[in-house]
Structure 1
Amino acid sequence: MKKKNLLVKPFVKWAGGKRQLLEDIEYFLPKGIKNYYEPFVGGGAVFLSMQFKNTTINDFNSELTNAYMVVKNNVEELIEVLRMHQNNNSSDYYYSVRAWDRNYEIDKKTDIERAARFIYLNKTGFNGLFRVNSQGQINVPYGSYKNPAIVNEDILRADSRYLNENNIKILNGDYAEALKGVQRGDFVYLDPPYAPVSEDKNSFVGYTLNGFGFEEQQRLLSIFDELTKKGVYAMMSNSSVPAIHDLYKKYAKTTAIVGATRNINSKSSGRNKVDEVIVMNYNYKNNEIIKD
């Protein structure tokens, strides 16, 4: 296996990111992966850690996928704009940049400027959240960090090299559309917005404007079943809650429970170690996809 570049890692913070679970995920990977799909890529902790040569990533968040494209195609120009944001960073400046999607300035900006805005707001906003209001406008407050790492040139350049030196396809749309090209023997990692662990209205359970409710979780299960029937290796991460265990009960023998600490609530009580599930449609020991 090709040696990994340890500088290749996420260039944004992401709620629900998988950095804590990388060892668990890698342990359960199927063997002999040739084509990798990640249709809920988010911050890309898994994809950027595994560094497969043939990869398709997707996200419904167009600002995020634009940032990936700019890191790939215009990394030096991106770094220059991020340096400007770093030099000007303050609470007032943050809110003036955040307001671009309120005063229609964002429609006049280049892809590079939009990507730099996205990364800047991510690095300086509260808890690294991406959250929008009912109008689709970012509404995360300023984070008041003393010295936020707004521009990490080494990581950005390493990510850009990886994206350019390998066969990486970047898509923006519905996760099911991103999986239309999968074939027998390919591997799909699914990291959807998690099922809520409580009914607390402050719980952060979705990243898109419309959220990801129980009906979407059911739809995801049907796609997971379709992948199984096609002979595609599939792995999914989610909350370890009764609703998810019930949905995926046919995969109970190939489900693992792992622990992670999550910072997705403004209350300190919401920053606890929680159980998560890794559901697989294959036996990781013998590499065989399970049969109905």
Structure 2
Amino acid sequence: MPELATAGYTLKPPLKWAGGKRWQVPYLYPLWEQHSDCRLIEPFCGGLAVTLGLRPKQALLNDVNPHLINFYTWLKKGLHCRLEMKNEEAIFYAYRQRFNELLHAKNGQTREAASLFYYLNRTGYNGLCRFNSSGEFNVPFGRYKSITYVSDFLDYRKVFDCWEFTSRDFSVLKLGEADFVYADPPYDVEFTSYAKGGSTWDDQIRTAEWLVQHSGPVILVNQATPRIKALYRRLGFRLRYLDAPRRIS
């Protein structure tokens, strides 16, 4: 494995994330190495496995999930969780209720919300991040024998210092001509409740048509469904197929 990618792994992704892309870093690194002075753009940054693996000097990391970005924003400030964190069902549901109360009160950008989001992610079922039609977090309690929680995230503050975090629609991101784009949108599969509003086939088309307009290097990862392959072939993308491990990162 390349040295830079290995160094990136010394700081692991802070969240348990369904569909994590850490396994892709050895494949991505030879492509990234040619552009490593560029700014890395992730329009759908998710669990940050790729960015932490490549460790760019500058990055614009975006995700439509505002609670995820709030957590990263607090990590950039040097988050210290003051919650009592235990792998207990009663505590989990009490914290889930409190988190949803904060969302209803429009206090989802607070330190408390970031800390609760971390706890719910680590303790909930399979690292899922799912919201109902009312915007409430509704992932059930997980079934882990033991969980290692982190309270002090100061190690992330220095790494995140030159990285910008935003939560908006990818189409409004301002890209420079030389930016290196790694796009990992919601896959073309049935599950679409990652954030309030979900994801549709129209979003897949919008993503593809937005990416093809960028003059710099672009890498797109998606499920190789027939219509996804047809869409990207039509737009002139070169396709490469990889066998993806089915695991939580």
Find the residue that maps to 2:141 and give its secondary structure: coil
Confirm or deny that 1:49 pairs with 2:42: no
- TM-score using structure 2 length: 0.88
Of 91, 97, 102, which aligns to 2:89?
91
* Correspondence list, 1:249-268, <5 A: 249-250=233-234, 254-263=238-247
Of 221, 226, 236, which aligns to 2:220?
236
Structure 1: distance between partners of 2:203 and 2:48 = 21
Confirm or deny that 1:74 pairs with 2:73: no
Distance apart, 1:243 and its partner CA: 0.8
Flag structure 1 segments of 5+ consecutive residues without an equivalent.
197-202, 265-292
* Residue of structure 1 in register with 2:186 after alignment: 193
* Residue of structure 2 in register with 1:139 after alignment: 138
Q: Give the residue type in structure 1 aligned to 2:19.
A: G
Structure 2: distance between partners of 1:103 and 1:152 = 22
Distance apart, 1:221 and its partner CA: 1.2
Please tell me whether the aligned partners of residues 39 and 175 of structure 1 are also in contact (alpha carbons under 8 angstroms): yes
Q: Structure 1 residues 5 and 246 mapped into 2: Cα distance closer, same or farther (>3 Å)?
A: closer
Q: Structure 1 residues 250 and 141 mapped into 2: Cα distance closer, same or farther (>3 Å)?
A: same
Q: Structure 1 residues 109 and 25 mapped into 2: Cα distance closer, same or farther (>3 Å)?
A: closer
Of 186, 201, 222, which aligns to 2:209?
222
Q: Give the residue type in structure 2 aligned to 1:257.
A: Y
Structure 1: distance between partners of 2:102 and 2:170 = 28
Structure 1: distance between partners of 2:148 and 2:123 = 8
Please tell me whether the aligned partners of residues 99 and 117 of structure 2 are also in contact (alpha carbons under 8 angstroms): no
Once the two structures are superposed, residues 29-65 of structure 1 have per-residue CA deviations (whole angstroms, 9 ceiling, x without a partner) of 3612311111100110001111100111111111110
Structure 1: distance between partners of 2:20 and 2:193 = 13
* Residue of structure 2 in register with 1:160 after alignment: 157
- TM-score using structure 1 length: 0.76
Please tell me whether the aligned partners of residues 131 and 208 of structure 1 are also in contact (alpha carbons under 8 angstroms): yes
Structure 1: distance between partners of 2:235 and 2:151 = 41
* Residue of structure 1 in register with 2:21 after alignment: 18
| More moved, 135-144 vs 110-119 | 110-119
Distance apart, 1:106 and its partner CA: 6.6
Once the two structures are superposed, residues 82-120 of structure 1 have per-residue CA deviations (whole angstroms, 9 ceiling, x without a partner) of xx332x441011001101244458736772111110010
Q: Which has the larger radius of gyration?
A: 1
Find the residue that maps to 2:222 and give its secondary structure: strand
Please tell me whether the aligned partners of residues 100 and 106 of structure 1 are also in contact (alpha carbons under 8 angstroms): no
* Residue of structure 1 in register with 2:121 after alignment: 122
Q: Give the residue type in structure 2 aligned to 1:239.
A: Q
Q: Give the residue type in structure 1 aligned to 2:157.
A: S
Q: Structure 1 residues 186 and 21 mapped into 2: Cα distance closer, same or farther (>3 Å)?
A: same
Q: Give the residue type in structure 1 aligned to 2:158.
A: R
Confirm or deny that 1:172 pairs with 2:171: no
Q: Structure 1 residues 115 and 253 mapped into 2: Cα distance closer, same or farther (>3 Å)?
A: closer
Q: Structure 1 residues 104 and 11 mapped into 2: Cα distance closer, same or farther (>3 Å)?
A: closer
Q: Structure 1 residues 25 and 2 mapped into 2: Cα distance closer, same or farther (>3 Å)?
A: closer
- Aligned CA-pair RMSD: 2.4
Distance apart, 1:74 and its partner CA: 2.9
Q: Give the residue type in structure 2 aligned to 1:226.
A: Q
Please tell me whether the aligned partners of residues 106 and 114 of structure 1 are also in contact (alpha carbons under 8 angstroms): no
Q: Give the residue type in structure 2 aligned to 1:161.
A: K
Aligned residues: 243
Please tell me whether the aligned partners of residues 119 and 150 of structure 1 are also in contact (alpha carbons under 8 angstroms): no
Structure 2: distance between partners of 1:251 and 1:57 = 25
Which structure has more strand as a fraction of its residues?
A: 1
Once the two structures are superposed, residues 210-265 of structure 1 have per-residue CA deviations (whole angstroms, 9 ceiling, x without a partner) of 221111111111101211xxx2111100001111100011466721100112248x
Distance apart, 1:170 and its partner CA: 0.9
Structure 2: distance between partners of 1:177 and 1:94 = 36
